[in-house]
Structure 1
Amino acid sequence: MSKVEESIEVDVPVRIAYNQWTQFESFPHFMDGVERIEQRTDRMTHWVTKIGGVTKEFEAEITEQIPDERVAWRALGGDVNQAGVVTFHHLDTTRCKVMLQLDYDPEGFAENVGDKLGFVKRQITGDLKRFKDYIEGRGRETGSWRGEV
């Protein structure tokens, strides 16, 4: 099992960053390789990704969600074995820190080589930078879900 932890400071209040992160269907706007996400229930999402020419579809379960604090998930079944959490940290009234931790199990030769070369870490760093640009550019969230799981 491999682990990645990355964070970024975002120039929006923690509530806005958190609210945007709950809009899973917007992830293709800032997550490279994410083709589509469907929010099926409060706890279930369906993902379609295409990375390195390989398309994968899988279900992910939201295992914990606390407004303005954290969203945790795990992939269910299929050929994707990962779990993670994104946490939101108040820095001041206009800034926050977004931290993403991911545990994943690379599958096959190509994914293992990519893991050793730091591909996933670079991917997450880029995704967080694009999230920052996306939410700061908008200045507000596209929606929100304030429930708890």
Structure 2
Amino acid sequence: MGGVIEHVDVEVPIRTAYDQWTQFEEFPHFMEGVQEVRQLSDTMTHWTVEIAGVKREFDAQITEQLPDERVAWNSTGGTDHAGVVTFHRLDEGHTRVTLQLEFEPQGLVEKAGDKLGIVDRRAKGDLERFKSFIERRGQETGAWRGKVDRPLP
């Protein structure tokens, strides 16, 4: 398993940053390679992505969601990955968004890309584009304030 941790500071309140992150269908606006995300239920999403010219589709399940704090997920088919994004209030109008990804590169192209740090650069770029997207709008495109409790071990 490979892993990446990146963060970005955004000039919006924590609630705005969190609420925007819950709008998964908006991810193609700022995530490189993400062609479509469909929200199937409160805890299930379907992703269509293209990585290094290879198109993949998979489902991801939200495993934990705490408003204004964190969203965690695991893939349930196709690409093997998991992640968590956390939100930290810096002050009234500023929030630190931290993205942590764990993944298993598949195939020669992805393994070579992993070694070159492509995934790390993509995550950093995605966060920078999220920053631009939310700061330019100044408000979220929607919100889901529900809570998903982490499953017991």
Q: TM-score, normalised by structure 2?
A: 0.96
d(CA) in 1 for partners of 2:131 and 2:34? 17
Q: Hey, what does 1:10 align to over in structure 2?
A: 10
Q: Hey, what does 1:45 align to over in structure 2?
A: 45
Instruction: Write out per-residue CA displacement over residues 107-130 of structure 1, whole angstroms, 9 at most, x where no aligned residue.
Output: 111111100000000000000000
Correspondence 1:73 to 2:73: yes
d(CA) in 1 for partners of 2:53 and 2:131? 26
Shift in Å, 1:51: 2.0
Q: Hey, what does 2:105 align to over in structure 1?
A: 106
- State whether residues 52 and 110 of structure 2, in contact with CA within 8 Å, keep that contact through their aligned partners in structure 1: no
d(CA) in 1 for partners of 2:120 and 2:88? 21
Correspondence 1:134 to 2:147: no
Runs of 4+ in structure 1 off by over 4 angstroms are none
d(CA) in 2 for partners of 1:88 and 1:124? 16
Gaps of 5+ in 1: none
Q: What amino acid sits opposite 1:135 in the alignment?
A: I
d(CA) in 1 for partners of 2:102 and 2:132? 25
User: How many residues are paired up?
Assistant: 148
Shift in Å, 1:50: 1.1
Gaps of 5+ in 2: 149-153
Q: TM-score, normalised by structure 1?
A: 0.98
- State whether residues 82 and 102 of structure 2, in contact with CA within 8 Å, keep that contact through their aligned partners in structure 1: yes
SS in 2 for 1:96: strand
SS in 2 for 1:144: coil
After superposition, residues 22-37 of structure 1 pair within 5 angstroms as 22-37=22-37
Instruction: Write out per-residue CA displacement over residues 73-100 of structure 1, whole angstroms, 9 at most, x where no aligned residue.
Output: 000122x000000000000000000000
Q: What amino acid sits opposite 1:50 in the alignment?
A: E
SS in 2 for 1:137: helix
Q: What amino acid sits opposite 2:11 in the alignment?
A: D
d(CA) in 1 for partners of 2:75 and 2:86? 18
Q: Hey, what does 1:58 align to over in structure 2?
A: 58
d(CA) in 1 for partners of 2:107 and 2:56? 14
Identity, % of aligned pairs?
Answer: 59
